[in-house]
Amino acid sequence: MLEARLLTKIYGGEGGMPPQRAVNGFHLSIHPGEWVGVMGPSGSGKTSLLRMLGTLDLPTSGELWFRGRELTALSPEERAHFRRCHLGFIFQDFRLLEALTLRENTWLPLVLAGEDPSVMQERSDAMAAALGLENGWHRYPRHASGGEKQRAAAIRAMIHRPDLVLADEPTGNLDSKASRALLSAMDTLRQEYGSAILMVTHDPVAASRCERVLFIRDGTLMTEIRRGEDRQDFLRRILTVVSAMGGERLDLEGMGLS
């Protein structure tokens, strides 16, 4: 469905600043309904990769294709239209509009698609109930907790049933119960509507929900591991790669693993 070919992002290089090669010749194919995790130490290029896959940033070189269409050849307006129709984003910093309540914020993709208001309300209320968001639902972002805002941002990313959800640390502001609820909601969307998910995460437990996890370092794919039948075994293998790559402090006790 989405294919990245030799995707490279180099920042800077002007005014005597040394160029920073954040992503280096990345190849990746994402299939419909697939759940892919991306892990790697801080500064390894995860967000840069996600932003290019989401057409928010153009690569310095390389190509991005979606169902036979070259996204890297589109105009900024065409890319924006593509994003609205096919993608959903969950950012670390929520990006909610302050003038709207959490509930109203989640309607935006459907407003842009010209959807009927009753569909918006029905869908968003059902998703809020699934994520335990009834309490904060009518608050404005400035009066909501980080976890409430994160859940609203996730509903907004998924409400239009996009082909691909790009999520940057979607569970970063949530406790373990809310994390599980959000990951389950993402899984439901994936299974019911065939949406694929690409999720950047530092959390090995969240990563173990994925079908495969890519490990990146210095902008390069180091290794990829796939989930088999046994999720605990997958989690153990993720932990082994994370500790072998270094750069992460693992709170094994907090994960209930020691």
Query: Tokens 């057409």 appear where?
Result: 55
Near ligand ATP in 130-159, by CB under 6 A: none
Amino acid making up residue 201: T
Q: Does 45 bind ligand ATP (CB under 6 A)?
A: yes
- Write the interaction track for ligand ATP spanning residues 174-203; mark x where CB under 6 A is met and - where it is not: ------------------------------
C-alpha count within 13 angstroms, C-beta hemisphere, residue 153: 27
Stretch in the footprint of ligand ATP (CB under 6 A) among 42-50, 110-118, 131-139, 205-213: 42-50
Say whether residue 65 binds ligand ATP (CB under 6 A): no
Is residue 219 within 8 A of residue 188, CB to CB? The reply is no
Q: Residues 33, 40, 170, 204: which binds ligand ATP (CB under 6 A)?
A: 40
Could you tell me the smallest distance in angstroms from the CB atom of residue 112 to ligand ATP? 27
Strand-by-strand arrangement of the 2-11 sheet: 20-30, 2-11, 61-66, 69-70
Identity of the residue, 66 or 215, whose beta carbon is nearer to ligand ATP in the bound complex? 215
> How many C-alpha atoms does 192 have within 13 Å on its Cβ side?
11
* 11 part of the interface to ligand ATP, by CB under 6 A: yes
- Distance CA(7)–CA(64), nearest Å, equals 8
Residue from 1, 8, 43, 115 in contact with ligand ATP (CB under 6 A) = 43
| Integer Cα distance of 90 and 189 in angstroms | 14
Contact pick of 14, 15, 42, 249 for ligand ATP (by CB under 6 A): 42
- CA dist 190 to 36, 51, 168, 258, Å? 12, 21, 17, 32
Q: Which is nearer to ligand ATP, 11 or 140 (CB)?
A: 11
Among 22, 53, 64, 197, interactor with ligand ATP by CB under 6 A:
22
Quickly list DSSP for 209-222.
TSSEEEEEETTEEE
Stretch that binds ligand ATP, among 39-47, 142-150, 181-189, 235-243 (CB under 6 A): 39-47
Interface residues with ligand ATP (CB under 6 A) are 11-12, 20, 22, 40, 42-48
